[in-house]
Structure 1
Amino acid sequence: MTRKLAAIIAADVVGYSRPMGGDEAGTLSALKTHRRELIDPKIAEHQGRIVKTTGDGLLIEFPSVVEAVQCAVEVQRAIQDCNMDVPADHRIEFRVGINLGDVIIDGDDIYGDGVNVAARLEGLAEASGVCVSKVVRDQVRDKLDLVFEDLGERQLKNIARPVHVFRIAASVVGQPAPSAKPALPLPDKPSIAVLPFTNMSGDPEQEYFSDGITEDIITALSRLHWFPHYQPAHRRDDEQPHMGGAIRPRAQ
């Protein structure tokens, strides 16, 4: 039994049955075109070897983990560019898992946990995304200009120990960034938050002074005619915010 250390990529077409169901011939043609013009040349460029194909999936080995990650990122970017003018339900999108581990060589095939972890990581990746194990991230973090997002430890199916998983940031592989939430509109009327004052004396009997100041401010505000709405604050130590904490408006 021969073993070796290898960088493994497991890649799979996301939702392959969906475009196949709508246009089988067109989907097969598009996939073959991606393979011929984009994927296979990139694999060769980075000294990779296609171990096997599974219809819509690929298992690839590389002698260098840096080359493996570079290849995955470049392929994902290129496919995203190709998909720009393609309807969403006809796009070919891959998800990729990358691991660095010990593998068993059997002729032209490879087996072992190194391969299995890569396959499980691929299952965690989003469309056009790349997930890697911690050992991969650690090996390339100072060699490639990439951003990694920590997904924490995951218990992967049929893998004895938890695997620490990282995701290459969506912006790196060409995925659209999440749209920012629109800012809340500013109120058309002035608002004032009245927060309870904290008794800093350490004497519980002085608590009424801080309460009294708060109530005096609220009372004064209530007399202002340009405050059409007034909501008083009632002191409750377990709910009221303190100075320096989160601010919640009490008078408007």
Structure 2
Amino acid sequence: MDRKLATIMVGDYVGSTSAMERNEESALSQVLSGLDLVTRCVSKHHGRVFNTAGDALLAEFESPVNGLKAAIEARSELATAPGLTPQSMRFGLHLADVVRVGEDLRGDGVNIAARLQQLAEPGEIDVSEALFDHVRRVSPCAFEDRGEHRLKGLDEAMRIMRVGASSDRHVFQLAPTVEAPKSAIKPNSIAVLPFLTRTGADEDQEFLAE
């Protein structure tokens, strides 16, 4: 079998079934709009959508950081898309060795990404510990440890990390879409005090002081 290491992202449109019961055409239009938006973000960050399943899509990235950026940007862009909100979709990401079958990817790693998406709440991005270990030193994101969970079909519990919503617009230098939790850690912060010049000093003796 042809195998490869890949970052798998699964994005799912939330609540499409009930929405279609109320107004099928309107709901389908919104679902397609949301999936198209995510597809553009995937392409922008050098990923590839390799499969779709109703109101969900599956994408692969060579880089875990690019996969994370695509999910963050998609959530951010949903805030300004007509008829959509950041809570319109949820995402699961995992890094794993997967099996390539033509243009499709299959295997345990793909299933885990799908399970992570299913556990995520609307508007959230949940990632596996395997992916977290690869991005935590090079990502500006604040992560929330969700603890260990037993995913359907897996014997061992898996630790899940959640991407803080405050990271969305910080990464892309825009206003936040969701208020950050007060307990969120802001990495790489710097505090600057005003610089005051000593009065009455000769020009060559001036200095900066607190």
TM-score higher than 0.5 here?
Answer: yes
Structure 1 residues 176 and 23, CA, compared in 2 at 3 Å: closer, same or farther? farther
Check 1:137–1:73 CA distance in 2 against 1; reply closer, same or farther (3 A cut). Answer: same
Partner of 1:130: 125
CA 87–99 in structure 1, closer or farther in 2 if over 3 Å, else same: closer
The aligned residue for residue 165 of structure 1 is 160
Tell me how far apart the structure 1 counterparts of residues 179 and 74 of structure 2 sit (CA, whole Å): 16
- The residue aligned with 1:46 is 45
Where do 5+ consecutive residues of structure 2 fail to align?
A: 169-176, 183-210
Aligned-partner residue type, residue 65 of structure 1? P
Q: Which amino acid aligns with 1:122?
A: Q
In structure 2, give the amino acid aligned to 1:32: L
CA-CA distance at 1:92 after TM superposition: 7.1
Give 1:76's aligned amino acid.
R
Change (3 A) 1:130 1:87: closer
1:33 offset after TM fit, Å? 2.7
Contact 2:12-2:55 within 8 A present in 1 as well: yes
TM-score scaled by structure 2? 0.76
- Whether the 8 Å contact between 1:121 and 1:131 is mirrored in structure 2 is yes
Give the counterpart letter for 2:178 in structure 1.
Answer: Q
**How far has the Cα of 1:127 moved from its partner?**
0.5
CA shift for structure 1 position 87: 8.8
Contact 2:16–2:31 (CA under 8 A) maintained in structure 1: no
Q: Closer, same or farther in 2 for the Cα pair 1:20/1:156, shift >3 Å?
A: same
Which of the pair has more CA radius of gyration?
1
Q: Note the alpha carbon deviations across 1:118-176, whole angstroms, 9 max, x for none.
A: 01110111111100001211111121210100011111111232211001113334335
Cα distance in 2 between the residues matched to 1:137 and 1:87: 28
Aligned to 1:228: none
The equivalent of 1:117 in structure 2 is 112
Whole-Å separation in 1 of the counterparts to 2:11 and 2:109: 14
Say if 2:32 is the partner of 1:24: no
- Output aligned runs, 1:1-252, within 5 Å: 1-36=1-36, 38-82=37-81, 86=83, 93-173=88-168, 174-176=177-179
Whole-Å separation in 2 of the counterparts to 1:138 and 1:64: 13
Which shifted more, 68-77 or 27-36?
27-36
Distance in 2, matches of 1:92 and 1:130, equals: 11
The normalised TM-score by structure 1 is: 0.64
SS of the counterpart of 1:160? coil
Describe the superposition over 1:86-122 as per-residue Cα deviations: whole angstroms up to 9, x where unpaired. 498xx97111000000101111111111111101110
Measured on the aligned residues, the alpha-carbon RMSD in Å equals 2.1
What is the CA–CA distance in structure 2 between the aligned matches of 1:97 and 1:33, rounded to whole Å?
19
The CA distance in 2 between the partners of 1:106 and 1:87, in whole Å, is 34
- 2 CA distance for matches of 1:35 and 1:3? 27
Gaps of 5+ in 1: 180-252
Cα distance per residue 1:46-96 (max 9 Å; x no partner)? 11111111110111111111000000000011112326xx498xx971110
**Bigger shift: 5-14 or 19-28?**
19-28
Alignment check: 8 A CA contact 2:98 2:110 kept: yes
Q: Check conservation: 1:31, 1:92, Cα contact below 8 A.
A: no
Paired with 2:158 and 2:69, the residues of 1 have a C-alpha distance of 22
Instruction: Give the total of aligned pairs.
Output: 174
